[in-house]
Structure 1
């Protein structure tokens, strides 16, 4: 609508300029005619009859001029009305265009506001999640640092390994099957001893481990540093294995093997992966390195052995109890036989009671029917004698 109206409005403005020009020309023409009339009027007295004829011609020209002026005024009025209509159409088109533009701008602003609000809400939620994750990471970092500080301290690390080992042993064995800080005949006090069924010699468990060498081996940056750390780890491990073998393997007093508890599965796996020679030398020294899962497996084996030993110890008592149970079953069989006899006697009494009930029912039926003739005795039953 706007594109069709704007050219029309432009043409309206051009017609207005033409009308104004026409009016100016008309005004100039009228002024010229008035001058001519004035000159003709001045010369009328001198010319006589010729002026009268000219006056008639002049009047006719004036009438024509008035008629043309009236027509021009009508055209000017029509053109003014057309111009006003064009201006009104252009104003309405501009208003509609402005309204449409304002509506689209408002919708765009509302859509942008909603999208911005949703984006800000999502961003706030993600920031909250990031904040929670950052807090969790901070807590985890503090816990890791605390664990690292604990493992860096030898005494604290020993207490950590001791606590894990004690928890595994305490949860898996009866209280009388183990002892912590048990004193041997040579004055040594291993971290834990486990008593096997039927054998007075305890199994020794040591919970200390040289972690500094493992840390240096893991954190080595170059091949030379890694090789040096590996040599140090092998030396520290063999020294600890030899110390355990010398202190806790006492012939006739302890078991033939001892256990070194490694409190980390990853450290245990790394030793088996990179230091197989150390593991073999420890095995030949009758010292076994176990991880928490292997210690749990050993505890379960000890549980099975203890259960089997207790069953063997109680075999005689079980046989005795089974014999008494058989006697009780035989006695129960005899008493059930006696009870069966009583039930047979009770059955005979019940059959006699039923016969008497049938007689009473028949007698009552005859009384109801006023039948006083003696009833025939049942088959196999003698007729009753006279009642005295």
Structure 2
């Protein structure tokens, strides 16, 4: 029902009441008064029905509104829970970002210090070598006969011989090369980068290549795939020059492959050494077997001689037994003196 209908009915009731009064004043008939009274009663009944319907509809609307409010509260509570979970995730991510930022800052501080950066390269080198080679196949901070000390010496048999590995990290020159925006600055950074690598190659070639003591080649380990990739991609002539001087430049992935090859060489050398030891033991076992055969032959000769002596002893014993039996078989009378004594 429209909201404007009950006031209209009330207004109509007042109009009818006014008409009734006017008719009464004018002295009209009783039948008209009765009809007007019936109309007023009908309007009052209709108004009561409309009031009850309005109350029922208001209660329905209140119940519907309450249900909607409950649903909205439940949705709001769920949304608040989801928002709280997302806030918890955001807080955890923020904490991780802060921890990562502190770690990045610590890493930047480490990389900014040359000694700490060198230690980081040595640690990475240690992890790679210790992961792929047995403990007896390498030595750390090994001092060579010329007094120099390399980061790692891998004990390969001749040929090729022990291989020295030295870790270098030319971070400043590479960083300047990556950050250079102008051609002039990039040229200067490239020249500095090439000079640093060439100086490291010269040091390794002069210090760690000793005839008769080490192999004819050594390894320059760059503990950064980015630096290694930049060097091989843009400065292949420098890599070839280093190889001609007996220095092979490797990164983490290439060093891992090289160490796998060295692991196979060490395994083959160990198998050959064990084969030589087995051969030596077999030869010694053959000598002992020959010595045992000689002694068995000598013992067999002694045993044959003993058997011959036993046969001769048995023959002599048989002869003695036969002679004793023959003596017992002789009937020799007693002498006269023996009979007189009886």
TM-score by length of 2: 0.74
Q: CA RMSD in A?
A: 2.8
Partner residue of 2:215 out of 242, 248, 255: 255
Q: CA deviation at 1:110?
A: 2.2
* Alignment match, 2:18: 20
Are 1:141 and 2:139 counterparts? no
SS in 1 for 2:92: helix
Cα separation, partners in 2 of 1:130 and 1:223, compared to 1, 3 Å: farther
Which residue of 2 is the match for residue 182 of structure 1? Answer: 142
- Distance of aligned partners of 1:223 and 1:109 in 2 relative to their CA distance in 1, 3 Å threshold: farther
- Would the alpha carbon gap of residues 194 and 27 (structure 1) be closer, same or farther in structure 2, given more than 3 Å must change? same
* Greater displacement, 189-198 / 230-239: 189-198
1:97 corresponds to which residue?
A: 57
Alignment of 1:160-175 (within 5 A): 160-175=120-135
**SS across alignment from 1:196:** coil
Tell me if structure 2 keeps the 8 A contact 1:12–1:86. no
- From 210, 213, 234, give the equivalent of 2:170: 210
**Aligned equivalents of 1:281, 1:18: Cα separation in 2:** 120
Could you tell me how far 1:139 is from its partner in structure 2?
A: 1.5
| CA gap 1:22/1:270 in 2 versus in 1, 3 angstroms | same
Trace 1:275-354 onto structure 2 (pairs within 5 A). Answer: 275-318=235-278
Deviation at 1:313, TM superposition (A): 2.6
Residue of structure 2 equivalent to 1:85 = 45
2:75 alignment partner in structure 1: 115
1:170 is paired with a residue of what secondary structure? helix
Q: Secondary structure of the residue that 2:213 maps to in structure 1? A: coil
Aligned partner of 2:155 in structure 1 is 195
1:314 is paired with a residue of what secondary structure? helix
Question: What whole-Å deviation, never above 9, does each CA across 1:112-146 have from its counterpart, x for those lacking one?
Answer: 22222222222211121121112112212221221
Is it true that 1:270 corresponds to 2:268 in the alignment?
A: no
Structure-1-length-normalised TM-score: 0.66
1:18–1:315: structure 2 CA closer, same or farther, 3 Å change rule?
closer
CA contact (8 A) 1:6 1:90 kept: no
- Where do 5+ consecutive residues of structure 1 fail to align? 30-64, 325-388
Specify the alignment match of 2:187 in structure 1. Answer: 227
Q: Which residue number in structure 1 is paired with residue 34 of structure 2?
A: 74
SS of residue matched to 1:229:
helix
Q: What corresponds to 2:8 in structure 1?
A: 10
Unaligned runs of 5+ in 2: 286-342
Change (3 A) 1:75 1:307: same
Query: C-alpha distance in 2, partners of 1:22/1:268?
Result: 112
The answer on whether the counterparts of 1:8 and 1:86 sit within 8 Å (CA) in structure 2 is: no
Task: Mark the CA change 1:254 to 1:93 in structure 2 (over 3 Å): closer, same or farther.
Answer: same
> C-alpha offsets along residues 145-186 of structure 1, whole Å, 9 cap, x if unaligned?
211211111000111111111222233333332222222222
Query: Would the alpha carbon gap of residues 83 and 262 (structure 1) be closer, same or farther in structure 2, given more than 3 Å must change?
Result: same
- Deviation, 1:256, is 1.0
- Cα distance in structure 2, aligned partners of 1:174 and 1:275: 34
8 Å contact kept, 2:121–2:168 = yes
The match for 2:337 is: none
Structure having the higher Rg: 1
Which of 121-130 and 90-99 deviates more?
A: 90-99
> For residues 242 and 95 of structure 1, do their structure 2 counterparts lie closer, same or farther at Cα, with a shift above 3 Å needed?
same
Once the two structures are TM-superposed, the CA of residue 96 in structure 1 deviates from its matched residue by 2.7
